[in-house]
Structure 1
Amino acid sequence: MKYLQGVLFDWAGTTVDYGCMAPVGSFMDMFAEKGIQVSMEETRQPMGMAKIDHIRTMLEMPGIYSQLGNQKISEKDITEMNERFEQLLFKNLGDYADPVPGAVAAVEEIIDMDLKIGTTTGYTRDMMKIVQAGAAEKGYAPDIVITAEDVGAGRPFPWMAYAAAMKMGVYPMNRIVKVGDTVMDMKEGRNAGAWTVGLVYGSSEFGLTQTETEQLSEQDRLSRAAEVRERLIEAGAHHVLDTIAELPAYLKELDHQLSQQEVLV
């Protein structure tokens, strides 16, 4: 590779946990325990943020805020909600650590291309211990994992990306390709000044398990994919791929284009 030096991956919905299913049910169950009904769409909208920020964002949504009535939601309340969310998530998080189809092979090929690998996540450090262990058993074990706890704030701020770049030893940021599955991933990548690539199938934005995806009619699948692609582009993606398996070929193409004439993000 002549221009690109590293790839920065998200975790759930990008390299593991097809459909980013682990957090969704825990968020919805936690809100239900509080007597607040939330939709799948509302729950997925802030996906990619640090989880406590995810809760804050949901509480500000009109459909959720209207259910609060005159109830005051304090920072203490939010902290307690986040603690309950974590309790619910930890019960089954290890069941959602399998790499998505094609991820292990794609990452191995990218490493063979002499590109550094870094990762950022909306999960906490304790959550990542479980996810990393499960993923490593299936062949995916990146060395560099940055959480919001490591830098003070999660997405859409670029701090995790910067910290990962430092550990990767790569600069400037336009030598890195950020790959993710959510609107927040795209914003993180663009805010960091990295080339930013979105993924459709297996993403939180697509929002279905692999089995559910395969059961869709071709028309429904393509229509849903087009909507996801549009959202990711609107959020700042330079390019959107169907699956992670397409990433190595795209990186080679992008590197060739950029090496012909240096282009700043």
Structure 2
Amino acid sequence: MTALAVLDIAGTTVDEQGAVYTALEGAVRTAGASPSTTDIQRWMGADKKEAIAGLLENGTGQPPHPSVVESGFTDFHARLDAAYRSRPPRPLPGVPEAIAALRAADIKVALTTGFDRSVVDGLLDTIGWTSGVLDAVVCVDDVPAGRPAPYMIFRAMERTGVHAVADIVVAGDTRRDLEAGHNAGAGTIVGVLTGGYDVTDLGAVPHTHLLPSVADLPGLLGVAVPAQAATPSASSAE
């Protein structure tokens, strides 16, 4: 029996037009490295400060000074804020209805993210996911380490009062999302194809299902979505 759905934010439940990775690449280039698209992709879903440090080390061949990482992180924040002001994030199609259906079926819903709290609070306020929409939101700065460590999932369990990892479903659009679910021992690990990875990429990581979108999650779990709220989508669970 599923008691908790732990969902990623960017690319999984929220469409932010890839702004986070454009901002990440811009900040790292300004700090002195020249990451490729593949380099950026390796850090999708990660703690953004950790990503900056890793990309700089990969580009220069040596660990960056902490002050350089902090400066890059500040630059990343500024770039992301500007992007969000220009093109505000929005929920992915069918996701608000799916979240509401899960909660109506007594399945708690928590969001986890590689963003820090200062980014997340503004993002959720922009899309209207404030009081009463979610059961918990866990940010990377709430835990000792980001994905693929399982700590954000465990913190979500703690905040929602769920005790058994077998009773949780973890869903995300990146390899790190699925790796975190696997490391947590989640009963159901779902890759969704609304982000930067395709079936081949996500299929190479331990998982239980691949779906087109979180909008298909209620169907996978046997939860009905009210007809007036349903969003057509062809499920491809495997």
Following TM superposition, the consecutive aligned residue runs of length 4 or more in structure 1 with deviations greater than 4 angstroms are 137-140
**Residue of structure 2 equivalent to 1:22:** 19
Is 1:75 matched with 2:45?
no
CA distance in 1: counterparts of 2:160 and 2:129, whole angstroms: 23
2-structure distance, mates of 1:203, 1:139 = 26
- Alignment partner, residue 7 of structure 1: 5
- Indicate which of 170, 187, 203 corresponds to 1:178: 170
Partner of 2:54: 57
Shift in alpha-carbon separation, 1:90–1:99, aligned structure 2, 3 A: same
Which position in structure 1 is the counterpart of 2:180? Answer: 188
Q: Shift in Å at residue 18 of structure 1? A: 5.4
Given that 1:229 and 1:240 are in contact with CA atoms closer than 8 Å, whether structure 2 keeps it comes out as yes
The answer for the alignment partner of 1:31 in structure 2 is 28
Against the structure 1 CA distance between its residues 18 and 81, is the aligned structure 2 distance closer, same or farther, given a 3 Å change threshold?
Answer: closer
Residue range with higher mean Cα deviation, 179-188 or 137-146:
137-146
2:190 aligned residue (197, 214, 219): 197
* Separation in 1, partners of 2:118, 2:191: 26
- CA-based RMSD: 2.2
Change (3 A) 1:78 1:138: closer
Cα gap change, 1:149 to 1:18, in 2 (>3 Å): closer
Structure 2 SS opposite 1:153: coil
Higher strand content, 1 or 2: 2
Aligned residue pairs, count: 221
Per the TM alignment, residue 60 of structure 1 is displaced from its structure 2 partner at its CA by 4.1
Q: 2:111 aligns with which of 94, 119, 139?
A: 119
Of 191, 197, 217 in structure 2, the residue corresponding to residue 247 of structure 1 is: 217
| Per-residue Cα deviation, 1:148-168 (whole angstroms, up to 9, x for no partner) | 211221111111110101111
How far the C-alpha of 1:128 sits from its partner, in A, is 0.5
- Which letter maps to 1:80? S
Written as runs of structure 1 = structure 2, the 5 A alignment for 1:35-184 is 35-61=32-58, 65=59, 68=60, 73-94=64-85, 95-136=87-128, 141-184=133-176
Counterparts of 2:63 and 2:2, CA distance in 1: 49
Range with bigger deviation, 32-41 or 7-16: 32-41
Query: Which string of whole-angstrom CA distances, capped at 9 and with x for unpartnered residues, describes residues 198-239 of structure 1?
Result: 101x2132xxxxxxxxxxxxxxxxxxxxxx222213222211
Q: Distance in 2 between matches of 1:25 and 1:117?
A: 28
SS at match of 1:48: coil
- Is the CA contact 2:172–2:192 (under 8 Å) kept in the aligned structure 1? yes
Question: In 2, are the aligned partners of 1:179 and 1:198 still within 8 Å (CA)?
Answer: yes
Does the aligned pair in 2 maintain the 1:28–1:43 contact within 8 Å? yes
Aligned to 1:216: none
Q: Return the letter of the residue paired with 2:71.
A: E
Larger RCO, structure (CA 8 Å, separation 6 or more): 1
Aligned-partner Cα distance in 2 for 1:117–1:137:
12
Answer 1 or 2: which has greater helix percent: 1
Residue 146 of structure 1 aligns to a residue whose secondary structure is: strand
Using the size of structure 1 for normalisation, the TM-score is: 0.77
* Among 218, 225, 232, the residue aligned to 2:202: 232
- Say if 1:8 and 1:72 are closer, same or farther in 2 by CA, change over 3 A: closer
Q: Against the structure 1 CA distance between its residues 165 and 139, is the aligned structure 2 distance closer, same or farther, given a 3 Å change threshold?
A: closer
Structure 2 gaps of 5+ residues are 224-238
8 A Cα contact 1:10 1:180, kept in partner: yes
Whole-Å separation in 2 of the counterparts to 1:168 and 1:117: 9
- Gap runs ≥5 in structure 1: 206-227, 254-265
Q: Assess if the C-alpha contact under 8 Å between 1:154 and 1:160 holds in 2.
A: yes
Greater C-alpha radius of gyration: 1
